[in-house]
Amino acid sequence: MAKKPKIAIFKFTGCAGCQLELLHLEDIFLDLLELFDINYWVMVKRDNDEKEWDISLVEGGISTPEEIEEIKQIRKKTKFLVAFGDCAIGGCIPSIRNWTPQMEAENQVYPDTSTIHSMKVLGIGEYVKIDAILKGCPPHRETIVELLKSALLKTRPRLRQHPVCVECKFRDNACLITSKKMGCMGPVTSAGCGAICPSLGRECEGCFGPMSNPNASALASIFKGIGFSEDDIKRKFRKYAGMSSEFQKEAGH
């Protein structure tokens, strides 16, 4: 068998939920160890190899000058760089703070802000070239496996571009917007979760980020029509992907 691809897992500004999903692949975890050489994963390993990697899965957004330097170093040593989850793609939930002046945010948390070096939190793509993205907060385990399989087969991973609505149709869910006047983000949100929330009686909150070419303004006007205030609508778009070009107008840029 050919040499095992070397994988590294990194964490920046985020919650570790994405790398947890990798660790939660319990049924195939031992198989993954047969197929890949995971040689950098600080949350799991004490001996970490910092030479170079075939694939780097990067979780978390970039929010300090130190992190900018680090992600650039990782890029230099990586053949295939994956933005692993919404934080790495565009800052995700922590990016909500980008609408608060930085000093105001710091003063709300720290008595002495002189030791805090935070900036706006942005996706890693602001600073380095990305080779693939895994959407989701967190990404679905099947999608993670799809990407890893493709890496072994050297094929293009089948990652979904269509909206959550398509998955709702597969599951025979009644539309929550038309039937219950709920503020569902499904029509503009990337599929990949299997329409978890609408199948469980809850509106999609948009945790997989924008689908390909969404019509965000049309959905915003539908929300307005069913009684949501302008602030409500702003909050909906300024959540998992407020910094994205697809949602930024509705998020209140």
Partner 1 sequence: MEEITIDVDYLARVEGRGALNISISKDGKVEDLQFRIYEPPRFFESFLIGRKYDEVMELTSRICGICPVAHQITAIRAIENALGIEPSQQTRDLRKLMAISAHIQSNVLSMYFLSLPDLMGYESIIAMTKDNLDIVKRGLKLKKLGNDITDLVGGRAVHPVTAVVGGFTVVPSRNKMKAIRKRLVEAKQDAYATVDLFSEIELPDFERKCEHMAISDSKEYAINHGRFISTEGLDCDEMEYRDYIHEEQVPYSTALHSHVKNRGSFMVGPLPRVNLNFDQLSSDSKDAAKRSGVKFPNFNPFVSHLARAIELIHDIDESIEIIDRVPLKEERRDFRCKAGFGAAITEAPRGSLYHSYEIDNNGIVKKADLVPPTAHNANNIEKDLQEFVLTLLDLSMDEITLKCEMLIRAYDPCISCSTH
| CA angle (121 as vertex; 119, 127 as ends), nearest 5 | 95
**Scanning the structure block, which residue is given the tokens 């503009």?**
188
Q: How far is the CB of 104 from partner 1 (least distance, A)?
A: 7
Q: How many other C-beta atoms are found inside a 10 Å radius of the C-beta of residue 55?
A: 21
Q: Confirm or reject binding of residue 44 to partner 1 (CB under 8 A).
A: yes
Residues 126-145 within binding reach of partner 1 (CB under 8 A): 137-138
Q: Confirm or reject binding of residue 4 to partner 1 (CB under 8 A).
A: no
Residues 222-251 within binding reach of partner 1 (CB under 8 A): 232, 235, 239
Q: Confirm or reject binding of residue 40 to partner 1 (CB under 8 A).
A: no
In order, the DSSP letters of 172-216 are TPPPHHHHH-----GGGBB--S-SHHHHTTS----TT-B-SS--H
Q: Confirm or reject binding of residue 48 to partner 1 (CB under 8 A).
A: yes
Q: How far is the CB of 121 from partner 1 (least distance, A)?
A: 7
Q: Confirm or reject binding of residue 112 to partner 1 (CB under 8 A).
A: yes
Please name the residues in contact with 162: beta carbons below 8 A apart, sequence gap of 6 or more: 190, 191, 211, 212
Which residue from 222, 160, 163 is spatially nearest to 195, judged by alpha carbons? 163
The binding site for partner 1 (CB under 8 A) comprises 11-21, 23-24, 26-27, 29-30, 33, 38, 41-48, 63-64, 67, 92-94, 96-97, 99-100, 104-106, 108-112, 115-116, 118, 121, 137-138, 196-197, 200-202, 205, 207, 232, 235, 239
